[in-house]
Every structure is written in structure tokens, then in C-alpha cells.
A and B are shown apart, each in its own frame.
Chain A
Amino acid sequence: MTTTTTSPVLTATGVTMRFGGLTAVQSVDLDVHPGEIVGLIGPNGAGKTTFFNCLTGLYVPTEGSVAYQGTVLPPKPHLVTQAGIARTFQNIRLFANMTVLENVLVGRHTRTREGLWSALLRGPGFKRAEAASKTRAMELLEFTGLADKADHLSRNLPYGEQRKLEIARALASDPGLLLLDEPTAGMNPQETRATEELVFAIRDLGTAVLVIEHDMRFIFNLCDRVAVLVQGQKLVEGTSEVVQSDERVIAAYLGTPFEGAPGAEEAAEVEAAEAGAAPRATGGAAQDEAQRGTTARTEDGQ
């Protein structure tokens, strides 16, 4: 892989998330480079979704920091999206009573500017921007194959199409990185195939993808790199082949009791096996950054 030579779109450094006594995510480092499709796998409750929530600002990580294209992100979801990271949800979270088209238009929110005044005055600028938004939204519906359902209520779509709509809605913010949380859950094999194609197409359009999935065939077909999360810690990271043949991964997935915490050295070994691991910020620095992010009052800024 030559992708490591470019600077990463996403740099997660020492991300830790504790809920009271439970450490759901523990010092996870992860880089995603432009043009990459990276997989994130792990048993149920491993902390994958929690890690996504930390990346997108839905949770404020207890420790660690998340940077997009080198800039540390404040843990505010709308600013994360504004910066260029979009996501879908494991348990579909569409705007159920809005139409398919409106859902995608909401996704355009960060890429349009029209405020209340221009909506009330309806100048030519407003009309142009609305028309442009609609065109772009229709393009995305075309891209995901939902164009003929634009006027349907999103809650009336079949399950598979709801997942697709989530992707279309996320793409509407023109993200540089797309986070997919189990995009094929509940899909039949054909739909899963189609989703695979869709993810490749998204990558080809220049959006890096980080995807959580339990469907191993899907993951190993798709991903340039796979990271394995077990009990909140990153166990292995590497190409499909490396991960597939790793005994601990097999153990974790077969359900064999996992003995002992995953050794830091072991994880480091695996990573060292890969050419050029991404540079890591020291723990202390990461913490400082995280704190600065939390205290910054960014709500009102646009």
C-alpha cells in the first residue's frame, strides 16, 4: 500500500472513553488515509460504535484526540460534520417523517448558508441555492439508486433502502471521510453486494471510508486495512490477510475466552510489521488537546 505516504484524513490518537467504571474504548490509535477503505471489526460490545461516537463528537472522549486533515476537532457533532466527517448509524436514524429528498437536503446543511432572513425574503440568491441543493440531492439519490423514491416518506422505505438513504444523506455534506456503522446489517446477500459496489464507488469519488461490519466477507473484500477492536482495545491492525490469519482474532471471533489483556507489545509488533506506522502524539499532548477542544465554546460560531 502506498497510501501511507500521503497525510491522513483522520488521525485518532489515544482515544479513551469511560462510562463510570466501564472503559468502552481504551487508547485506540487509528489513521485513515485519503482513498482508503478501512475496516473496524470486533465482537459485540467491543466498543466500535462508541469509538465512532468519539470520532464524531457525539461523545466527548475521556482522553485522546481526533484530528481531521491534521486539525484537531472539537467534540461537537455539527463541527465535525462541518469539517468533513460524515457518518451513518448502526440503528438507522433517519428523519422518519421527512421525505427521502428532504432527508438528503438536511444533509446539505453544512454546505449551504441560507439563514432565516434569506428564507423570509426569498431573494434570487435563496432560490439559486435551494435549486442547487435540490440538484445535488437528486444526484446523490441517483447515485444510491433512490431517485424514484424521492417523494416517499423515509419511514416507508424498506430496510435496505433506509440504509442506503443514510449513506446518501451522509454524502450530502461532501465529506472527506465517511464512517459507516454496520451498513449491511439486515441486508440480504444481493443487497450486501450492491452496498459493496456503492462503497467502492464512494471511495473512487475521493472519499475515504471507515466501516464497521460483522460480515467478514464484506470486510475482507472491501478493505485496504482492517483494525480489530476487542474489549475496547485495538488488538491487531493490518491488511485483510494479516488480520484473517491472526490467531487472536480467530479466537476472539470463535468465542474462545480471551485470556489476558491484549499485550501492548504484541499490538506494537503487528503494527511494526506494517510499513511505516503513523506517527503518534504523546498521551499528554493528546489530553491537552482534548481538553482545549472541550472547553472551547464553539456553539455560536459558524
Chain B
Amino acid sequence: MTTDKTQPTAVRKAGATAPRTTLLRALTAAGGAAAVVSTFLAWTWTAEFPGDLTFYGYPGGLQLLTLVLGIATAVFALAALDLKGLRWLTPSGSTQALRLLALGTFAVTWFTVIAIAVDLDGLVNLEPGGWIAAVVTAVPVATTFLLPDDSRPLCRPKELPSWAEILIIAAVFAVGLYVVNYGIQTDADHPEPFLGFLIAVGFAAVALAKAGLIGRISELTSTYRSVTLVAALITAIVFPFFQDKSSFTELGVNIAIFATVALGLNIVVGLAGLLDLGYVAFLGVGAYTAALVSGSTASTIDVKFPFWAAVITGGVVSLIFGVVIGAPTLRLRGDYLAIVTLGFGEIFRLAMLNLDGTSGPSVTNGPDGIPNIPPLEIFGFNFNDDHSVGGLTLDSNGNYYLLMLLVTVLVVLIFSRAGNSRIGRAWVAIREDETAATAMGINGFRVKLIAFALGATLAGVAGAVWAHFQSTVVPEQYVFAGPVPPNSTFLVAAVILGGMGTIGGPLLGATLLYLIPKKLEFLQDYQLLAFGIALILLMRFRPEGIVPNRRQQLEYHETGQLDVPGATGLKDSAVGVTKAEA
């Protein structure tokens, strides 16, 4: 079987490819195929293991991950063999991608097998299928590490008609939505499926980056910016319609809120370089303000603003706080701001606790907070009721999700427009070198205050929406560091992990940091430890964050042609993170 496949290679690079290389690639393909076959066997005898891996004939649960990665390994190996029609898969070389895919297949399979043995107490619980899978997935690992490295700079893509390129973008988003859905819908009671999912996605993502496909996609998305934005928007809008459980949509709402707040913080931290360690307090200011004017029975102010007015009030009050905090501190250089904002965060929480009528004026009900915020109603559309859209129902969480999405879009728009303008350049200049920036005529204090106040306002707006979604606000939600987001540490970590100064970074960072502890309950007690480890590894291996910004990307391709950014760093960090999680 393997020898048959060696024929096509000889066609293009007859002299270049050694027979040994060809053989190794063919073996890799065979190993991938064997892994695929093994997923059709039963790996264990009892359905007690999550996902039910007891069937012969079709794969299920964690086997699906082995299946997908096995197929990918086989297909990429065939691409490495120069099979016609598959060459586009490896624009910047195949070996590294193959190694990662083989490792990914191996890791997921062995994780599953070991998890079966551990969960069910003993290796006896493995059916022969499990043993076969464990053995065959080791083959591609061995062969790919014997392959010579064939990394090359990203070659020019073949010209495609623009409709095809747009279709590719659409397909990428569809796949992305599917992958995210898969992760979100994994069984929350068992950590195994989600852990397996993380391992698989981690390896696959790095492999695609190594193969040059991610570089290719980002080229496409930057060519068709508006198409990409529309595709992203549609993907985000349809998300709640695909959820069969309300709790999944709730995850979506929370992700949208925290991602939005992280993006707002990114203006302050990522663009202007101001370390704000009390950012969550601005979210709190917005939330409390909105709660006070919402007409809640527990509110000490007897008014009921319409929603839009409550949101604007939340934003404006946050803005005022931003200016009051920023004005005296932003004149100073360096770390004073970090200390002052850290203090402000704590003062806000303590003030909310003490404005209860006994320790201070009666405003916030102290630790009880302000419950019973009435459900939103905009133009007769009640957010707590189910609504049916074209045959699909949208529950309360879905309603709030779409509302929050609107805010996310607004913040994305503000971030990209402000960032890409005179004022945005001034922010970056200040971040890069404040002395030089002022010598270029930039009024440092003024532009920093604008960034700080804008960040505060956006957090206030998000807070106002969040208060309505939660229908209650309590002081303990707004801490510097804590087991549940939002807290300032979470937000800063999301920005740094994702990539400072980018739009995608904080969105991705917040999603990961929120979703992972949510899905892996056992991690929750160690969340801060995990944050710390993740950040240390990141700083060591990929200081620019998961999503490098365009400027840092340029660092890797000085000649102007697009290249895979962060070539070496990426592999290391992914491997490191996976190690930490496994």
C-alpha cells in the first residue's frame, strides 16, 4: 500500500526528494489512515466513560477528535507527497505541520486511552480498539520526526476568482463556528471531552499556522475586509440559534460581555500603554449606575430610565470617574497609574459595600447590592420572553446575547477607527516612547486622558448592559482578583494573553480565559495559578500574545512578503500550554 503512493512524488521534484523522505511521508499517511480506522473500533466496554466509545462501526465522543486529526495527518502527508490538488495545503512547508498533527493525534488518543484507564480503574477496561489506536497513532510521530524540515517562505498563492476566495472566507467562519460550538457544547459535568478538545484544537491550530494556511487566510481576510467583517458578524449572530441548551447561550453572553470589556481595556493598555489595574471598577460604575436608574424596587433612586438612557447614563458616569481618576495621575509617568487604578478598584468595591445607610449614605444597599432590575423591554420586545425568529426560538439569554453583540460591534468599530487615526497613532507613539512623542508635538497628558476616559466609558456602557442581563449588581463582582470573572486580573490577562493592541486578541483571550475554567470545574480553585502559569509561559515563548498585532507581525517579514508570524514561538508556546494543562 505504501509503495503505491510513492509514484506521484517523482513527477515534480524528481531529483529533490530522497526516496527515504518519500517513504517516510507515505508511512505517515498510512499511520494517519490507520488512526482513522481505529476510531471505528470500540475503545472501551462500558458507556460509563463520557462520550460512549463502545461501538464498532462508528466513532463517537473523543474518538471524533482522533478521527479528524488522523484524517488531517493523512491528507497533509499526501500533500507532502505532492499529490495533485492538495499542494495548496502546505504553502510554507509540510514537515512541521505534519509533526504537530501527528503529535496532536497521538496526544488526543493517548489522553483518551489514559483517561479511560484512570476513570474506570485499570487498563482492563480498554478494548482491543483502544490498544490499536494507541499503537498506530505513535507511528506518524516517529516517521514525521525523521523527516527533514522543508520549511520555506510562504509561496505566492495561485490566483483564484474572487467569488472562490470569498467562499473560502465563509467556509473558514463556518468551520470556526462549528469548532467553537463543539467546544461550548461539550459535557460540562466531565472534563475529559473539553480537555481533549483543547489538545486537539491547540495542535491543529499550530499545525495550520506552520503549514502557512493561517497566513494565507489572514491574507485573504485583509484583502476582503468588509466580507470578513460581515462573515464574522453573521457567524456571531447565528451562534445562539445553534445552541440547544440555554446555559450554552449564557456562556455566549458572558463571553461577549467579557470580551467586549477586554477590548475596551485594550485601548488603554494595548494602544496607549497605560496599565489600568482597576478597570473592572468602571464596569461596576456603569452597572451600578444603570441599576440605580433602572426602576428596580431595591434602587434607592426612584426613577425608571428607558434602557438607552440608562446605558448612556452608565457610560457618562463612568466617563466622569475616568476623568477624575485619570486627570491627576496621567500627568505622572510610569507606574503611578497602575497603583492608583489598583487602589481605585478596591475603593470602588469598599464604597459600594459601605454606602448602605449605616456606614455611609444609603445608596447601594451594601453587600445586598441592587437586585430585581426589571427585564429589558425595547419597543415592546421583552428580553425575558422567548421569541421565535423564522421558526427558531430565541430565549432570554439569546436576546441578551444579541444585544450584547451590538455593544461588541460598537466597541470593535470604535477600537479600529480610533486606533487607525491621528489619535490612535499618538497613543501608540506615547506607548513606544513618551519623550519622543511629546517632542513630536503630542500633548501626552491630553491623549492619555482621552484613551483612559474612552476606555472607562466603554466599560460603563458594557456594565449597564450587564446589570440588566444579570438583573442584579453586588459589590463582590468587582474585585481585583477572584475566582470568577470579571475581575481586573482576568481582563488584563485576557488582553496580554490574546495580544495587546489587536482586536482579535482580547476577544480570543477573554473567550479562552472564561471558557476554560467554566468547562474544567476542577481548575476553578486554581484559576489564578493557571493564569499565572499561562502568562509566564506566554511571556517566555510568545510575548506578543496569541494574536500578534500587525506591527509585531511585520517584525517577522521585513521584506514585505507575508510570512507565518511567530514561526518558532508558536510551537513552543502551544506545546508548553498543553503540557501545563495535561
Contacts and interface: CB of A to CB of B under 8 A. Distances in A.
Asked if A and B bind, the verdict is: yes
Interface of A: 56, 58, 76-78, 81-82, 86-87, 89, 93-99, 102, 105-110, 112, 114-116, 119-120, 122, 126, 129-130, 133, 151-153, 155-156, 169-170, 173, 299-300, 302
Contact of A109 (B413, B417, B426): B426
B217 interface: no
Given A173-B441, A299-B443, A133 B435 contact: no
Nearest to B426: A109
A97 B440 contact: no
Given A110-B441, A120-B418, A300-B446, A95 B435 contact: no
Interface stretch (B16-24, B220-228, B549-557): B549-557
Q: Which of A77, A105, A155 has the most CB of B within 10 A?
A: A77
A77 B438 contact: yes
Contact of A116 (B429, B439, B443, B454): B454
Q: Which of B420, B423, B436, B560 has the most CB of A within 10 A?
A: B436
B177 interface: no
Interface string B419-457: 011111110110011011111111111100010001000
A122 B560 CA distance: 28
A115 B445 CA distance: 15
Given A95-B429, A99-B554, 15 more contacts: A78-B438, A78-B443, A89-B439, A93-B439, A97-B552, A98-B428, A106-B425, A106-B437, A108-B422, A109-B440, A152-B554, A152-B558, A155-B555, A169-B440, A173-B440
Given A95-B433, A95-B436, A156-B555, A78 B421 contact: no
Contacts of B423: 114-116, 119
B135 interface: no
B423 to A, nearest CB: 5
A98 B425 contact: yes
Contacts of B424: 119
A258 B332 CA distance: 41
Contacts of B413: 120
Contacts of B554: 99, 151-153, 156
Interface in B511-554: 551-552, 554
Nearest to B421: A119
Contact of B440 (A107, A133, A153, A300): A107
Given A95-B433, A119-B417, A114 B441 contact: no
Nearest to B445: A299
Contact of B551 (A116, A153, A300): A153
Contacts of A155: 555
Given A119-B424, A152-B554, A82 B417 contact: no
Q: How large is the interface on B (under 10, 10 to 19, 20 to 34, 35 or more residues)?
A: 35 or more
Contacts of B560: 151-152
Contact of B435 (A58, A105, A107, A120): A58
Q: Which of A102, A116, A130 has the most CB of B within 10 A?
A: A116
B414 interface: yes
Contacts of A102: 425, 428
Contacts of B555: 97, 153, 155-156
A96 B440 contact: no
A153 B544 CA distance: 15
B551 A78 contact: no
B442 A78 contact: yes
Contacts of A82: 441
Interface in B153-206: none
A81 B450 contact: no
A126 B442 contact: no
B178 to A, nearest CB: 34
B446 A119 contact: no
B446 A299 contact: yes
B439 A106 contact: no
13 contacts: A78-B441, A81-B440, A86-B439, A93-B436, A95-B436, A97-B555, A98-B429, A102-B425, A119-B424, A120-B413, A130-B421, A155-B555, A299-B331
A107 B423 CA distance: 12
Contacts of A120: 413-414, 417-418
B445 A106 contact: no
B133 to A, nearest CB: 46
Contacts of A107: 440-441
B418 A95 contact: no
Contacts of B450: 116
Contacts of A156: 554-555, 558
Nearest to A92: B436
B439 A77 contact: yes
A109 B422 contact: yes
A120 B417 CA distance: 6
A58 B439 contact: yes
Nearest to A153: B554
A56 B438 CA distance: 10
A156 B552 CA distance: 11
A89 B436 contact: yes
A112 B442 CA distance: 11
